[in-house]
Amino acid sequence: MYILYLIVWVGYLAVLTYIVLFKGTWDNTQSFIKMLQQSEGITKRQKVYLIPFESTRIFIENWEYAYAKWNIFGNMLLFLPFGFLLGLVLHGRKGVLTTLFLGFVTSFSFEIIQYLYAIGEFDVDDIMLNVLGAMFGFFLCEIINRLVKRTHL
C-alpha cells in the first residue's frame, strides 16, 4: 500500500508542477527548458502581488471572465488533493499543522520559481488560496475517515 501511496504522490506532484509552472502546455515547458539552456538568462519578470487580497479583488471585479473564476477556485482545487493525500496518513492536530506547513512551503516554492524564472506572477493570494485548498482537502479526508469508521461500528 505504501508503494501505491508514493506513486500517487509522485504523479500528483508531477501534474501539479506541470499545471502551476507550465500552465499545462507543452509549449511553455519547452520554452522553459530552452531558457535554462541559454546563457543569456531570464526574460522580463512578471508582476508581483504582495498585498493580501489585491489580485483576488481584481478577479472578483472581473468575475464575468472565466480566468477570474479559474484563478480563485482553480488555486484551491489544485491543492485539494495535496491535503487529502496528507489526510490519509496524518490525523488530528499534527495533521492540520503539517498540512498547513507543507501546503505553504510547496505553494511558496512554486511562486518563487515562477518569479525567479519569469514564468508567472508571484502572488501572495495564490499562496493563501493554495493553502486553503490543501486544508479543505485535509478536512474532507478527515470527514470521510470518520464516516467510514462510523459505518463499520
**Averages of pLDDT over each 10 residues, the chain, 153 residues:** 93 94 76 65 73 94 90 96 97 96 98 88 96 98 94 74
Closest CA to 137 of 78, 83, 58: 83
Structure confidence at residue 124 (pLDDT): 97
* Secondary structure tally for the chain: helices H, strands E: 7, 2
Query: What is the number of domains present in the chain?
Result: 1
Structure confidence at residue 1 (pLDDT): 82
Range of the domain at 16: 2-151
How long, in residues, is the chain? Answer: 153
End-to-end CA distance of the chain: 24
C-alpha 2: how far from its chain's center?
A: 23
Residues 6 or more apart whose Cβ sits within 8 Å of residue 117: 32, 35, 36, 42
Calpha distance 30→66 (Å, rounded):
26
Please check whether residue 128 is in contact with residue 49, taking contact to mean a CB–CB distance below 8 angstroms: no
Its pTM stands at 0.87
